Amino acid sequence: MSQGGNTYMCSLKHKKTFFIHPLIQYLHNLRKQGTDLKSWYENIVSFPLEIEGMGAYTREEISYNISKFILMLKEGYFESYDNKNRIGKKITSEDIKTGIANVDHVILELTDQCNLKCAYCGYGKYYDGLFDERINNYLDPEVAKNFLKNLLGYWNSSYNSSHGRIINISFYGGEPLLNFKLIKDLVSFVKSYGLKHNKINFSISTNGVLIDKYLDYIVENQINLAISLDGDQNANSFRVFHNNKESYSKIIKNLELIKKNHPIFYKEKVSFCSVLHSRNSVEGIHEYFKKEHNILPNIAGLKSNGLNKKYEKEFWKMFNHMGNSFKNQNTSKGVKKDLFKQTPEIQGASLFIHKYNDHCFNNYNDLFFNKQEISRTPTRTCVPFAKKIFLTVNGKLLPCETISHDYFLGDVTRDHFKLDFGAIEKRYEHYFEKIRKQCNQCYYVESCHKCIYDFSIDDKIVVCDSFMNKNKFSRFISNHLNFIEEKPENYSVILEEMQYE
């Protein structure tokens, strides 16, 4: 039931959420308790029948709703849904090869060295040694080329199911511009390779300090710049040089340079990433970027898993919760409008609408098959390398840049590109087995957002903090229905403007 007092049902089997007459729900409950509806109806002594908390109903209303209930029952609307088959799939070598050939995003860590010492750095003191030690290392150009050569082979193979699709190659660090020569080498290496099916989009994730040195090349090669900037000077004050001097003025100077000399490039190829923390807010970040740069940034919260216990207290002082920051009364309507898609409520409603309604499909093939009957793996863990391939500065291969380097799945040297598909299959199945039992019981399976690496996966017993029993799931559904009841106009906007693949 929604807060507004309306009765809804969610059929996981039919992937459908729907408003119903409360009598239908009442009849469903009676039947579940083992009541024979025919004799129940025949034994009603007088009409209208008063049902506690639901009002009074005439003979016609009850008889009508019994008939409708039976009709829905015959179509399986009230059948329970067993997750077991849904999440029974194992990842296979073929899945992994197909994943590599169709990857979205390739990330190369060009160096672990950085010219800044940001307080909240993911490789800094707040996180518990999940990553290889930062020793000012630089990625060996031959290793990087061997890595890309192998990927290019996959992209040209029949495992690739796309034509004209864009693959993003990102240069990452540390600060990637510290290894600019390698960027140039790799861009020309990829460009010289005959790609049959894909287009490449290069980007650099940078703190912006060194842009002025290399701007002409970057503009000439139309390389996207994803610049980290947390807002105005105070908001950006966690981002400092090694001598603790703030980086803000240097970055602004570089931004002015791009705007002045390459205004079209600035408009089309520059984006910003802002980290939300105790010195800024969603409202502040939004106001600043709109006024100063006329580009809205992607706002991300601080990573709060893998924390170093020693500094945990200090970390939480710096932490600013995204949802709370959006909900803050000071957050104006204008901000919410501009950042519509990033609003937690909208993201939640989008997830709900896309996952629990039978008119939402991922692709055209889904119109032919019943997706609920197609087996997939537990959690929302990606097939390794299907979304991202991350090469560390030390040649380790990981399925994502946010995963501890201890969990590398293969490695690249100058001479080899080593991925043992069989071993990866086994490892993932070992991980999935640890969580499968919980997933079997969980009502949240369809919209699960958990990656296997979010858990302490090496522990003997793995517990999912997002597990939902029936009651918790009902509250989850209710919350989203409340939101849509309050703002029904968002329903079609979400379906028209938001993607949930």
Partner 1 sequence: MNKKYWLFLDSHTHCFVKNHEALFYNTLNGKILRNTHADIIELSKNLTSKKNLNVIELDSVSIENTETSKFIKDLRKAFMGDIIDTSLSTEKPVQMMPLVKINRDIKYLKEHPMRSVGDFLMDYLSELNLFLNGDCTQNCTFCSYAYKQSNCCTKNEGTEISITDIKALVKQVESCTLLNFNIFGGNILNYSHLRELTEVLDEFTATKKIHIHYQDFINARNLNLFQKPAYEIKLIVPPENNSEAIALALEIGKKHNLNLSLIFPIESEEDYYITEQKIKCLELDKYLISPLYNGENTSFFEKNIFLEEQDICSYKPSSKEIYAREKINTNFFGKLTILSDGRIFANVNHKELGVLGQNTIYDVLFKEMNEGESWLKVRNDAKPCCDCTFEKLCPPISSYEYLMERNNLCHINDSKV
Interaction of residue 362 with partner 1, rule CB under 8 A: yes
Interaction of residue 80 with partner 1, rule CB under 8 A: no
Among 62, 91, 102, 455, binds partner 1 (CB under 8 A): 102
Interaction of residue 402 with partner 1, rule CB under 8 A: no
Q: Which helix (H) or strand (E) holds 170?
A: strand 165-172
Interaction of residue 222 with partner 1, rule CB under 8 A: no
Q: Closer to partner 1 at the Cβ: 312 or 366?
A: 366
Q: Closer to partner 1 at the Cβ: 5 or 422?
A: 5
Q: Which region, judged by CB under 8 A, interacts with partner 1, from 230-238, 257-265, 281-289, 367-375?
A: 367-375
Interaction of residue 264 with partner 1, rule CB under 8 A: no
* Euclidean distance between CA atoms 154 and 102, whole angstroms: 8
Q: Which residue has the tokens 């991350």?
A: 390
Among 243, 291, 313, 368, binds partner 1 (CB under 8 A): 368
Q: Which region, judged by CB under 8 A, interacts with partner 1, from 180-188, 247-255, 324-332, 356-364?
A: 356-364
Q: Closest separation between CB of residue 172 and partner 1, Å? A: 18
Beta bridge partner(s), residue 10? 17
**DSSP labels, 179-212:** GHHHHHHHHHHHHHS--SSEEEEEEEEE-STTHH
Among 18, 41, 47, 123, binds partner 1 (CB under 8 A): 18
Q: Closest separation between CB of residue 371 and partner 1, Å? A: 10
The DSSP symbol for 87 reads T
Which residues between 22 and 41 bind partner 1 (CB under 8 A)? 22
**DSSP labels, 383-445:** PTTTSEEEE-TTSEEES-TTS-GGG--EEE-SS-EEE-HHHHHHHHHHHHHHHHHHHHH-TTG
Q: Closer to partner 1 at the Cβ: 468 or 481?
A: 481
Number of residues that bind partner 1 (CB under 8 A): 66
Among 13, 16, 89, 387, binds partner 1 (CB under 8 A): 16
Q: Closest separation between CB of residue 123 and partner 1, Å? A: 28
CB 310 within 8 A of CB 349: no
Beta bridge partner(s), residue 195? none
Q: Which residue has the tokens 């519509």?
A: 340
Interaction of residue 188 with partner 1, rule CB under 8 A: no
Q: Which region, judged by CB under 8 A, interacts with partner 1, from 79-87, 293-301, 312-320, 485-493?
A: 485-493
Q: Which region, judged by CB under 8 A, interacts with partner 1, from 35-43, 137-145, 357-365, 398-406?
A: 357-365
Interaction of residue 88 with partner 1, rule CB under 8 A: no
CB 27 within 8 A of CB 68: no
Q: Closest separation between CB of residue 361 and partner 1, Å? A: 5
* Euclidean distance between CA atoms 83 and 329, whole angstroms: 40
The dihedrals phi and psi of 210, each to the nearest 5 degrees, come to: -100, 10
Nearest to 411 by CA among 396, 389, 391, 398: 396
Among 35, 63, 67, 330, binds partner 1 (CB under 8 A): 67
Interaction of residue 373 with partner 1, rule CB under 8 A: no
Nearest to 305 by CA among 466, 161, 151: 466
Q: Closer to partner 1 at the Cβ: 43 or 365?
A: 365
Interaction of residue 64 with partner 1, rule CB under 8 A: yes
Question: Would the CA dihedral through 428, 431, 437, 440 be positive or negative?
Answer: negative
* Euclidean distance between CA atoms 7 and 329, whole angstroms: 31
Long-range contacts of 311-314 (CB under 8 A, 24+ apart): 311/125, 311/126, 312/126, 314/126
Binding site for partner 1 (CB under 8 A): 2-6, 8, 16-22, 54-55, 64, 67-68, 71-72, 74-75, 98, 102, 158-166, 196-197, 199, 201, 353-354, 357-368, 370, 481-482, 484-486, 488-489, 491-492, 495-496, 499-501
